[in-house]
Amino acid sequence: MEQLVITGGNRLCGEVSIKGFKNAALAIIPATICARSECIIDNLPEIDDIRFYIDTLAEMNVECKYIDSNTLRIDSTNIKNVCADFESVKKIRASYYMLGALLGVFKQAEVALPGGCNLGSRPIDYHIKGFEALGAEVSVEHGIIRVKADKLTGSTIYLDFASVGATINIMLAAVFATGVTVIENAAKEPHIVDVANFLNILGAKVKGAGTDIIKITGVKNLHGGQYTIVPDQIEAGTFMIAAAATGGDITVTNIIPKHMDSLSAKLGEMGCKITEGDDFIRVVADKPLKATSVKTMCYPGFPTDLQPQMAALMAGVKGTSFITETIYENRFQYINELKRLGANITVDGRMAVIEGPANLTGADVSATDLRAGVALIIAGLAASGDTTIGNVRFIDRGYEHIEDKLIALGAKIRRIK
């Protein structure tokens, strides 16, 4: 077991470059199956979730080879089966994208129920609804999801909730459906657009990604191609919040500033100086910040994946801040760990009330999930004394070399066994 040890109280300053979006990569990698050819994916983050996916594809006779540390060649020409029930696939939530890709290509798939962080109930009902609308039969038995269709036929599918996973999965399957598929109330997150752009490079006909209506005209086959993953808005946001929490001055580069609008607005509201360029945002926190309120929503609203980091920031800010979580019912499970550091937080259902400024001091804490882990890092950076964070494996699932990037910004952080 590895741990991170942080000596807090240092102002973070400097420049940090952001890698490709984890959530986009975890959809585009299985989407390469649709090509039945060679694809080259650039700007991949070096994280455990990517490695788990590569292990899964290797078990299915898909050739995966790194060209460099962030560029992967994937050749699915000789994929040999439609069953993915390996231990590696059980470790990642995004394993369900295998269903849409395999269903589209082979008209059948068997995939183990997904793993990942325990953030509460995240049913795949909307995925199933979409597959059935295209003509597939779906069953769940002994931890395996099975989908099968004689043929796939385009349909109009209305999503009661703008589910990112369901939107992508339906797109992957509908690429090969006969006729036109329309997804109404589709999710609009940046990685939806990224997956659609990738599929179109391979020869698909997907229109409307980034809006609430996506239309997919089915094709008979796709071809290989090369694609660069969009920058990770959550990694970018994590460093922006770290700048605010430590009274720092950080320029976050290799990003799309538009994707950060909801966070930039909140940090500006709290008193940070925000400067935007074509591909960077600079966050300067050189005066005491003000309390604020955040409500998580689907894009372009405030992302739930930045909610724990904001709580860590709010704990050290004077006044009463509020967080309302509308996406995951278990997202607040990290709160008790922040309290160990001295945070004054009460939770009532899906609302957290944060009274600040708390006198944060170092303690032994444990990550409960990916984003909770980096929230504890941010709190530890702002606290006095040493903070030791356990369950670092959660953090490694989604952040590339995070301690190295923080050290370059002036943090005192080290990894130990």
Which are the catalytic amino acids? Answer: 117
* Torsion sign across C-alpha atoms 201, 202, 203, 205: negative
Ramachandran sector of residue 254 (left: φ over 0; alpha: ψ -120 to 50; beta: rest): left
Closest CA to 235 of 220, 249, 253: 253
Q: How far apart are CA 141 and CA 137, in angstroms?
A: 13
* Residue recorded with tokens 């990694």: 235
Most distant pair of Cα atoms in the chain: their distance: 64
CB 253 within 8 A of CB 17: yes
Spell out the residues 6+ positions from residue 17 whose beta carbon is closer than 8 angstroms to its own: 253, 254
Q: Which amino acid is at 33?
A: I
Q: How far is CA 61 from the centre of its chain?
A: 27
Q: Which two tokens stand for residue 370?
A: 């990916």
Q: Is the dihedral of CA 171, 128, 187, 228 positive or negative?
A: negative
236 in Cβ contact with 18 (< 8 Å)? yes
Contact 70, 45 (CB under 8 A): yes
- Alpha carbons within 13 angstroms on the beta-carbon side of residue 344 total 11
Between CA 251 and CA 274 the distance in angstroms is 10
Question: Containing H/E element for 263?
Answer: helix 261-270
Closest CA to 111 of 123, 125, 134, 94: 94
The CA-atom distances, in angstroms, between 321 and each of 288, 314, 316, 328, 396 are: 15, 6, 10, 20, 29
